[in-house]
Amino acid sequence: MKYNFSQIEEKQQKLWEEKGIFRLDDRNAKHPYYCLEMFPYPSGRIHMGHVRNYSIGDVIARYKKMQGFDVLHPMGWDAFGLPAENAAIKHGIHPAKWTYENIDYMRTQLKRMGLSYDWSREIATCDPKYYKWEQLFFIEMLERGLVYMKKAKVNWCESCQTVLANEQVEDGLCWRCDSEVVERELDSWFFKITEYAEELLSGCDKLKGWPEKVLTMQRNWIGKSVGAEIDFPVKDRQEVIKVFTTRPDTLFGVTFMSISPEHPLALELAKGTGHEEEVKKFVERWKAALKSERYGQTEKEGVFTGSYAVHPVTGEDIPIYVANFVLMEYGTGAVMAVPAHDQRDFEFAKKYGLPIKVVIMPKDKTISPEDMEEAWEGPGILVNSGRFDGLDNQEAKKKIVEFLEKEGKGKGKVTYRLRDWGISRQRYWGAPIPIIHCEKCGAVPVKKEDLPVELPFDVEFDPSGRSPLPQIESFWKTTCPKCGGPARRETDTMDTFVESSWYFARYVCPDDDTKPLDKERVDKWLPVDQYIGGIEHAILHLLYSRFFTKVLRDLGYLSVDEPFDRLLTQGMVLKDGAKMSKSKGNVVDPNTMIERYGADTVRLFILFAAPPERDLEWSDRGVEGAHRFIQRLWRLVTENLDRLTKTDYSKEELSTLCKDNKRLKAIRQKTHQTIKKVTEDIEERYHFNTAISAVMELVNEISAALQDKKAVNTDAFWKVLKEALEASLLLLCPMIPHVTSELWQLLGHDRLIAQEPWPKHDKDAAKKDSVVIVIQIKGKVRGKIEAPAGADQEEVFDLAKHEPNVLKYIEGKEIRKVIYVQDRLLNIVV
């Protein structure tokens, strides 16, 4: 019988669908388990990254199902986004048509992989039935003050013709098209993610099932700093400049102040000081510089404004400088400069000949301004700090803040690097923001009963990439929900990351037309037990989803604090050491591979070639190896089918049969050890590569056993062999579901293998009765002996003494020490 994979795979997939074995009745589920892979953007066709992502998820879902869990394993489409619009401009296809055609094609591709999805829960985020609820959330968030509009300097990408969130700007370039990001002033809507900064940060500590790497990235992104905000009055003027510092302990070391070129007072302070021209030039030069040029290790530069601030404690005059390294977006846009204890201030002071004043003395050395070559940023004892002299600097932080608060000159403050999430996009293919602008009433939310605000279908696309929505009068021309007067509908759409921030919850109740989330059902299934996806979403998607979950909790839609209990970030699929990409021409197309070798082979290769979190190097040879293994397994069963189908076995019978037959016992032992190992590898570590190699070893042993023509004649042999083969099939079922399912049927089983319970190893059968013990002399291996399992030190030592090679080393020598590790090793120190 030939291994006709395409026929087998088609047949099995049809069977699974007909029997509906992966459809979940979520309400009656007793043992819920939610396994989710990041849903794809319908770009056109699936790539190897998807294949890897979904293969990993499928193993987990199928394994859990066999373990007796009711597994929620859904799939859907992150269907809004720019490529659809670009296709519309380039090829004249409507974004909706383009998107839905891609979805249809990619769905058949996924189905061809034999993934165990409950397709009845499929979601496309561009469906008004989905984004309607998102618009509802927007309005409810607005009611709670979690959404606001402001004229804001936004990151604008000229090529994409839209605004980008901070998270979407990388080194001053657009994350999507790598073109220069410029600043623009626009009315924009923001989600107040900063309101949750503290909870998002402290929540990281509770995410035990997340990779440390992702948590670190999130913590850094949130960027909490504890310090103080201190008021520095400007000399002879009304204004007060607030600075933020994490080092209030160095307050007495302030010798000048630096403010950002964007600071509202930058030009003001220079007026009439004789420095006006200089400052103006400096600020203009800075503003003209591209955002990308302001990044990196540019030389620290600045100019004196001619004005002075007054030190809040000492009353000293503090010259105010405009400096290129001070960011307006962080803190207050002004910093107190302490050159002795801050490297940047130190460099700046050296360059412009400003005084340096030491106020923190390290414990093990003395530093002085004259011979310092760099700032001392470490700990120490306060000096030159008036009444605070002699305090440890950590202690001084608290004391100085307390003092400032009492004097009304400052206060303790925490700042975050995290910015509010700008969600306005000047694009067509996204969820409309449910707002109506009225001249009289301002920005008014659409009435909830009028939702969804649907995207108009008949639109013309401008080759410039500009959104067509402001051109469509029938869309924007409306009346104010409040006063009924003429009004203009918001024509911006929401960032597509909004859709992906809550889809995992909607999967639980996609059939509910009355409300976005059915709390009872959602609470039963959330958090997602296992989430799987690429590391590239470490910040954006995963942080937004965490934020949204907390918002939905506070809006009363669900009860959990965090969306994803465990997170697995899979590595990339590489070819020739580089990420697969069209430009590099190293793309391997999943379709080609599946046609040539079948889905089982592709899945097996991907799971076997590397553990999931590591990058995976694609190897055509490796794929052939995986295919060879499946063929061997196929032959092993089909070539002995007659004998196997005639054979029956029971557990009790097997243990009796094996009692006196060393050979059979060894096979059975391997079978049960393999069950144990595979279970542990999948359950505890998701190391599918070692799980597969363990089954390969078992299959190798079965093949070897079949070489012994004498043994092949006994009934006992076939009973043991059948158990071994069936265990192999069950253990491999999550990875290569089609071929194992087919073979399972051929062996005469009525039930599908995917519905079988996961095998349990028999402790007695797995137990070895003799073990190989390594004999070391002074830590070097000098021999191996076979000893009964569980033998004590004396017994093993006795046996070891009879080994000639061991004897050679211990003869005539004094034995100083003997170390014995049960069933493993004996080390004799002479």
Which 784-813 residues touch RNA, going by CB under 7 A?
784, 803-805
Q: Which residues in the 256-285 window bind RNA by CB under 7 A?
A: 260
Query: Binding segment for RNA among 47-55, 199-207, 264-272, 782-790 (CB under 7 A)?
Result: 782-790
- Shortest approach of RNA to residue 689 CB, angstroms? 5
Residue 357 near residue 393, CB atoms below 8 Å: no
| Residue 212 contacts RNA per CB under 7 A | yes
- Shortest approach of RNA to residue 298 CB, angstroms? 3
| Residue 632 contacts RNA per CB under 7 A | yes
Query: Binding segment for RNA among 7-15, 459-467, 514-522, 777-785 (CB under 7 A)?
Result: 777-785
Identify which of residues 406 and 780 has a Cβ nearer to RNA in the complex. 780
Q: Which of 274, 353, 408, 779 binds RNA (CB under 7 A)?
A: 779
Instruction: Determine the distance from the C-alpha atom of residue 753 to the mean position of all C-alpha atoms in its chain, rounded to a whole number.
Output: 32
Q: Which of 2, 365, 709, 780 binds RNA (CB under 7 A)?
A: 780
Q: Which of 29, 89, 173, 217 binds RNA (CB under 7 A)?
A: 217
- Shortest approach of RNA to residue 45 CB, angstroms? 25
Identify which of residues 488 and 596 has a Cβ nearer to RNA in the complex. 596
Element holding 382 (H helix, E strand): strand 381-382
Query: Binding segment for RNA among 11-19, 45-53, 595-603, 612-620 (CB under 7 A)?
Result: 612-620
Q: Which of 48, 126, 157, 609 binds RNA (CB under 7 A)?
A: 609
Q: Which of 629, 717, 744, 758 binds RNA (CB under 7 A)?
A: 629
Phi (first) and psi of residue 554, to 5 degrees: -70, -20
From the list 138, 144, 140, 167, the residue with the least C-alpha distance to 155 is 167
| Residue 397 contacts RNA per CB under 7 A | no
Instruction: Determine the distance from the C-alpha atom of residue 206 to the mean position of all C-alpha atoms in its chain, rounded to a whole number.
Output: 15
Residue 767 near residue 789, CB atoms below 8 Å: yes
- Shortest approach of RNA to residue 725 CB, angstroms? 15
Query: Binding segment for RNA among 186-194, 240-248, 445-453, 655-663 (CB under 7 A)?
Result: 240-248
Identify which of residues 487 and 637 has a Cβ nearer to RNA in the complex. 637
Report angle CA 724, 726, 729 to the nearest 5 degrees: 110
In the DSSP assignment, the letter for residue 392 is B
Residue 209, CB-side half-sphere exposure with 13 Å CA sphere: 16
Identify which of residues 493 and 689 has a Cβ nearer to RNA in the complex. 689
- Shortest approach of RNA to residue 549 CB, angstroms? 22
| Residue 631 contacts RNA per CB under 7 A | yes
- Shortest approach of RNA to residue 164 CB, angstroms? 13
Q: Which residues in the 169-188 window bind RNA by CB under 7 A?
A: 170-171
Residue 35 near residue 73, CB atoms below 8 Å: yes
| Residue 292 contacts RNA per CB under 7 A | no
Query: Binding segment for RNA among 199-207, 422-430, 467-475, 816-824 (CB under 7 A)?
Result: 816-824
Q: Which of 244, 388, 504, 507 binds RNA (CB under 7 A)?
A: 244
Structure tokens at 42: 């319908």
Q: Which DSSP string corresponds to 275-307?
A: -HHHHHHHHHHHHHS-HHHHSSSPPP-EEEEEE
Identify which of residues 554 and 803 has a Cβ nearer to RNA in the complex. 803
From the list 727, 733, 789, the residue with the least C-alpha distance to 759 is 727
| Residue 447 contacts RNA per CB under 7 A | no
Identify which of residues 633 and 664 has a Cβ nearer to RNA in the complex. 633
Identify which of residues 104 and 536 has a Cβ nearer to RNA in the complex. 536
Identify which of residues 187 and 680 has a Cβ nearer to RNA in the complex. 680
| Residue 615 contacts RNA per CB under 7 A | yes
Identify which of residues 559 and 703 has a Cβ nearer to RNA in the complex. 703
From the list 657, 646, 634, 593, the residue with the least C-alpha distance to 732 is 634
Q: How many helices (H) and strands (E) does the chain have?
A: 27, 34
Q: Which of 247, 357, 546, 719 binds RNA (CB under 7 A)?
A: 247
| Residue 357 contacts RNA per CB under 7 A | no
Taking CB under 7 A as the rule, which mask of x and - marks residues 309-348 in contact with RNA?
---------------xxxxxxxxxx-xx-----x-x----
From the list 397, 408, 418, 399, the residue with the least C-alpha distance to 341 is 397
Pairing of strands 317-323, 256-259: parallel
Q: Which residues in the 745-764 window bind RNA by CB under 7 A?
A: none
| Residue 52 contacts RNA per CB under 7 A | no
Report angle CA 665, 667, 669 to the nearest 5 degrees: 65
Q: Count the Cβ atoms, other than its own, within 10 Å of residue 38.
A: 22
Residue 112 near residue 152, CB atoms below 8 Å: no
Identify which of residues 86 and 619 has a Cβ nearer to RNA in the complex. 619
Listed in sequence order, the residues at least 6 apart from 829 whose beta carbon sits closer than 8 Å to its beta carbon are 777, 778, 815, 816, 817, 818, 819
Identify which of residues 101 and 697 has a Cβ nearer to RNA in the complex. 697
Identify which of residues 131 and 244 has a Cβ nearer to RNA in the complex. 244
Q: Which residues in the 508-567 window bind RNA by CB under 7 A?
A: 535, 538-539
Q: Which of 67, 276, 622, 746 binds RNA (CB under 7 A)?
A: 622
Identify which of residues 196 and 428 has a Cβ nearer to RNA in the complex. 196
For the chain, what is the radius of gyration of the CA atoms?
34
Q: How many residues bind RNA (CB under 7 A)?
A: 95
Contacts 24+ apart (CB under 8 A), 10-15: 11/742, 12/114, 12/737, 12/738, 12/741, 12/742, 13/111, 13/112, 13/114, 13/738, 15/741, 15/752
Structure tokens at 533: 């996806």
| Residue 409 contacts RNA per CB under 7 A | no
Q: Which residues in the 674-703 window bind RNA by CB under 7 A?
A: 677, 680-681, 684-685, 687, 689-690, 692-693, 696-697, 700, 703
Report the chain's terminal Cα–Cα distance, integer Å: 62
- Shortest approach of RNA to residue 405 CB, angstroms? 17
Residue 479, CB-side half-sphere exposure with 13 Å CA sphere: 6
Report angle CA 582, 587, 592 to the nearest 5 degrees: 130
Query: Binding segment for RNA among 21-29, 84-92, 272-280, 607-615 (CB under 7 A)?
Result: 607-615
Residue 304 near residue 321, CB atoms below 8 Å: yes
User: Which three-class secondary structure string do you get for 212-265?
Assistant: HHHHHHHHHHHCEEEEEEEEEEECCCCCEEEEEECCHHHHHHCCEEEECCCCCC
Residue 128 near residue 80, CB atoms below 8 Å: no
Task: Please name the amino acid found at residue 435.
Answer: I
- Shortest approach of RNA to residue 718 CB, angstroms? 19
Structure tokens at 193: 């993610």
- Shortest approach of RNA to residue 207 CB, angstroms? 15
Q: Which of 417, 482, 488, 524 binds RNA (CB under 7 A)?
A: 417
From the list 333, 353, 361, 331, the residue with the least C-alpha distance to 253 is 361
- Shortest approach of RNA to residue 728 CB, angstroms? 13
Identify which of residues 203 and 625 has a Cβ nearer to RNA in the complex. 625
